[in-house]
Amino acid sequence: MDNHSIRSAASELFPGGVNSPVRSFRSVGGEPLPIARGSGPHVFDAEGNRFIDYVGGFGPAILGHAHPAVTAAIAEAAADGLTFGALGPREVDLAAAIREATGLERLRFLNSGTEATMTAIRIARAATGRDLIVKFDGCYHGHSDGLLVRAGSGVATLGLSDSAGVPQAIAGLTAVLPYNDPAALLRWFEAHPSDTAAVIVESIPANIGLITPDPEFLEALQSVARAHGALLIADEIITGYRLHPGLSGLLPRADLVTLGKIIGGGLPIGAIGGPASLLSLLAPEGPVYQAGTFSANPAVMAAGLAALQQLTPAAYQRLEQVARHLENGLTTAIRRAEIPASVVRIGSMLTLFFTPEPPRDPAAARAADTAAFARFHRAMRQRGILIPPSQFETWFVSLAHNEPEIDATVRAAAEALREAVPA
Ligand SMILES: Cc1ncc(COP(=O)(O)O)c(C=O)c1O
**Which tens digit of pLDDT belongs to each residue from 131-178?**
999 999 999 999 999 998 876 656 555 444 468 898 888 888 999 999
Where exactly does CATH 3.40.640.10 map onto the chain? 68-310
Distance in Å from the first CA to the final CA of the chain: 40
Where exactly does CATH 3.90.1150.10 map onto the chain? 3-62+312-420
Q: Which residue has the least CA distance to atom 2 on ligand 1?
A: 141
Class of the CATH-defined domain 68-310 = alpha beta
pLDDT value, residue 161: 47
pLDDT value, residue 169: 85
**Ligand 1 pocket residues where CB is under 6 Å:** 58, 112-114, 117, 140-142, 153, 202, 207, 235, 237-238, 260, 270
pLDDT value, residue 158: 46
Pick from 246, 215, 247: nearest CA to 234: 247
pLDDT value, residue 172: 87
- Residue 261 falls in the annotated catalytic set: yes
pLDDT value, residue 160: 45
Listed as ranges, residues in the chain with pLDDT below 70 are 151-162
pLDDT digits over 254-269, tens only?
A: 999 999 999 999 999 9
Sheet strands (E) in 324-370: 342-346, 349-353
- Residue tagged active-site, from 261, 316, 361, 369: 261
Helix (H, G, I), strand (E, B) or coil at 124: helix
Q: Specify the CATH number for 3-62+312-420; select among 3.10.180.10, 3.90.1150.10, 3.40.50.1220, 1.10.357.10.
A: 3.90.1150.10
Q: Cβ distance 141 to 182 under 8 Å?
A: no
Q: Cβ distance 264 to 60 under 8 Å?
A: yes
Alpha-carbon gap, residue 192 to 398, rounded angstroms: 43
The Å distance, Cα 80 to ligand 1 centre, comes to: 29
Sheet holding 42-45: strands in order across? 35-39, 42-45, 50-53, 385-386
Which of 110, 136, 141, 200 is the pocket-test mutation for ligand 1 (most atoms within 8 Å of CB)?
A: 141
How many CB atoms within 10 Å of residue 193? Answer: 12
